[in-house]
Amino acid sequence: MARSVGGRDALRIVLESTYEQCMTALADGQVDLALVAHAYPKINAFYMNPLLEPAIVFRGNTPEYGLATRPDFEFSEELLFSETVVSHPAPVPLLEYHFGRPVRLATANSTSQAARDVADGRYDIAITNAQAVREHNLKFVHRFSHIPMTWTVFSRKVNK
């Protein structure tokens, strides 16, 4: 996406806790663009917002996803069926594809929040990505892969 708008040096990246907060910042003029993964189940609300419009649609892989724990946590696969796994809702299907049965879940606003919840000791296992694992000093105990994803970059609608 950065290449589409002139390179990473041309951007100042602002992170929000939710996509809704990103879109409010965009609509209010606090940011110029907002990036949303198509896996986000409520993306349709952003397409319907009369103040916003899609500016760029592209395909790009996510960072690698996996199950992560604190470095001192002793993980075994059996724990997936007795412990609660914290995750953003979007990557939850990875569990069934990789383990073949449902697990007890808690939801977070983002994969980064899920990682933070594990780092803070609220949960022991998270579905998260490699970036959040590094940021929150966790370790992968099971790796899935990156996720091929399509994305929309929204901008404020220009009145014509």
In this predicted structure, what is the pLDDT of residue 76? 93
pLDDT value, residue 8: 60
- Identify each DSSP E strand in the chain by its residue range: 33-37, 52-61, 65-69, 84-87, 104-107, 125-129, 139-145, 148-156
What mean pLDDT do residues 127-155 have? Answer: 95
Average pLDDT over residues 133-148: 96
- Beta-bridged to residue 87, according to DSSP, are 107
Average pLDDT of 116-131? 97
Residue 133 in this model has a pLDDT that exceeds 80:
yes
Provide the CATH topology of domain 65-145.
Answer: D-Maltodextrin-Binding Protein; domain 2 (3.40.190)
Question: If you average pLDDT over residues 9-30, what whole number do you get?
Answer: 86
CA distance 31 to 22: 8
The pLDDT tens digits for 51-96 are 999 999 999 899 999 999 999 999 999 998 899 999 999 899 999 8
Which comes out higher in pLDDT, residue 130 or 4? 130
What separation in angstroms does the CA of 61 have from each of 3, 58, 146, 147, 150?
15, 10, 6, 5, 8
Q: What is the DSSP letter of 102?
A: -
Q: What are phi and psi of 43, to 5 degrees?
A: -60, -25
Which stretch of DSSP H or E encloses residue 83? none
Residues 6+ away with beta carbon under 8 Å from 157: 50, 51, 52, 53
Identify the CA nearest to 119 among candidates 133, 108, 107, 140: 133
The domain ranges of the chain are: 3-61+148-156, 65-145
